[in-house]
Amino acid sequence: MYYKVQIQETASSNLKEKKTAFNCITETFGKLWAVKEFLKERYGKEIKKKPNVFMDNKEGKSIPIGYTVSFWNSDISHNSSKWHQTDWIQITAVKEKPILLNNPSL
């Protein structure tokens, strides 16, 4: 088993504008502590807030599946103009099972 972190980066030039997705990052880690260290290094602090990304299950009940982190960002490639960025973060535990394509039971 390993842990997969998916971060969907979204941005807008101001808080009233609709956000646009511009990048998706996927990283994998063997230990949960490594996930926490990665996120701490990326965002400068540990994510301690409650989950605020939800998905409805088959019964229509909302279940928490992740977090958002928002901040103002800028870099040289954008002429130093700032944008408001929201990263949608989902962490999943993954257990892989090998399959064979010629397996008749598939």
The predicted model scores a pTM of 0.84
Domain residues of the chain, as ranges?
2-94
Q: What is the DSSP string of 5-74?
A: EEEEEEEESSTTSPPEEEEEEEEEESSHHHHHHHHHHHHSS---SPP-EEEE-TTS-EEEEEEEEEEEE-
pLDDT band of residue 34 (cuts 50, 70, 90) is very high
Residues 38-87 pLDDT 10s: 999 999 988 888 889 999 999 999 999 999 999 998 877 666 678 899 99
Which residue from 99, 96, 90 is spatially nearest to 30, judged by alpha carbons? 96
